[in-house]
Amino acid sequence: MNGLPGRAIADLLFDWGIATRNGSTAPRVELFRNCPHGSEIAVYSITDGSKKVIRKSASTACGVADLAREAAGWAWYQSQRYPRRELPIYQWLARGVYCRIDVDWIEGMKHDYQAGLLPNDEIIRLALEQYCCLWPNADLVPLHGDFSVDNFILNDDGLHVIDWEHFHQSGGPWGFDALYLLYESLWFSTESRRLPNRQEIRVLTAGLRRLGKVGRMSDAFARKPLQTLRAFIHEHRDIWGEQLRRFPEKLLVVKFSNRQAADIDRMVGRASPYQS
């Protein structure tokens, strides 16, 4: 438990004390991440008998605010993705300046988000399909804020989106999260070269065509998707708060240069993604 926030350690010891007093085995704790990417949240797994959860905890104002957004995001996603589920997928606890959220463990496979666009083509396609089906058909929609292959779990029940700490209700234009997924994946593919190849352009245009069929994407996103994506992030940095200030490269699409973004948008435009 080294490195966990003091209140989190106290909380775990409190749970451990209850378990031992009741004659039960103490929960097994495994630290996953401690305040990653400029956040103020510790992430760890708790296994108590047959029950396993992912616990996120915080004891600072910024961390608590992020976890409040996480809870709101899970509430929204459960209403869309698991509407028949009777019990909430998460449990929320606040004690003074300390809070935590426990999210039921989702068994499944995670893909290597750093592999880029082509190796992740199938899971990206599934994520775009889910986005088009679950997100409301409106100009402003709920924003996940980090819609990345790294935040998807795939199992026999389909695709599951996790990590909702940047959630904002009606927080962004329709298509933002989906476009972010496409262009973050492209960034990993083109990290060692300047521009995408033909196969990558085909994957991009197929994704954009799928989004275009819904008919809610703005003209700016349709005509200059990467440039408009980067501009939205720069103009709405408050959505990501202190994390983006401390870790400016958290959202990788901002690492494309202005020239790269313009050239990539021209390449995609020449491929005419909205033609059937």
DSSP string, 23-58: TPPPPEEEEEEESGGG---EEEEEEETTEEEEEEEE
106-115, 123-132, 202-211, 242-251: least confidently modelled range: 242-251
Name which of 39-48, 130-139, 201-210 the model is least confident about.
Answer: 39-48
d(CA 207, CA 215): 13
Q: What is the pLDDT of residue 23?
A: 56
Render pLDDT for 228-252 as a digit per residue (tens, 0 to 9). Answer: 999 999 999 999 988 888 887 889 9
Q: Are residues 167 and 252 located together in one domain of the fold?
A: yes
State the Cα–Cα distance between residues 239 and 242, nearest whole angstrom.
9
Is 167 a member of any domain? yes
Q: What angle do CA 78, 80, 85 make, to 5 degrees?
A: 45
pLDDT tens digits, one per residue of 55-74 = 999 988 889 999 999 999 99
The pLDDT value given to residue 87? 85
In which domain, by residue range, is 70 found?
A: 6-104
Q: Which whole-number Å values give the CA distances from 44 to 100, 154, 198, 265, 268, in the listed order?
A: 11, 20, 41, 40, 41
Task: Report residue 274's pLDDT band, with 50, 70 and 90 as the boundaries.
Answer: low
Q: Is 186 exposed, middle or buried (0-12, 13-18, 19+ CB in 10 A)?
A: buried
Query: Does 258 score more than 80 pLDDT?
Result: yes
Distance of CA 20 to the CA centre of its chain: 36
Q: Is residue 275 part of a domain?
A: no
Same domain, 120 and 99: no
Burial class (CB in 10 A: 0-12, 13-18, 19+), 74: buried
The separation between CA 221 and the C-alpha centre of its own chain, rounded to angstroms, equals 20
- Reduced to 3 states, what is the DSSP secondary structure of residue 8? helix
Question: Same domain, yes or no, for 217 and 138?
Answer: yes
- Return the residue matching tokens 């106290």: 10
128 plus 96 within the same structural domain = no
Statement: residue 36 has pLDDT above 80: no
Contacts of 258 (CB under 8 A, 6+ apart): 227
Helix (H) or strand (E) holding 159: strand 158-161
Same domain, 177 and 262: yes
- Domain of residue 93, CATH code: 3.30.200.20
Is residue 184 pLDDT above 90, yes or no?
yes
Residues 124 and 159 in one domain: yes
What's the total number of domains in the chain? Answer: 2
Q: What is the pLDDT of residue 20?
A: 47
Boundary (domain end) residue, out of 82, 104, 126? 104
Same domain for 136 and 243? Answer: yes
pLDDT band, residue 130 (cuts 50/70/90): very high
Query: 140: which strand partners?
Result: 173
Query: Does the pLDDT of residue 19 top 80, yes or no?
Result: no
85 in a structural domain: yes
Residue 3 — pLDDT band, cuts 50, 70, 90?
very low
Q: Does one domain contain both 100 and 117? A: no
Both 237 and 186 in a single domain?
yes
145 lies in the same domain as 24: no
Nearest of 141, 271, 139 to residue 208 by alpha carbon: 271
Residue type, 16: W
pLDDT at 75: 96
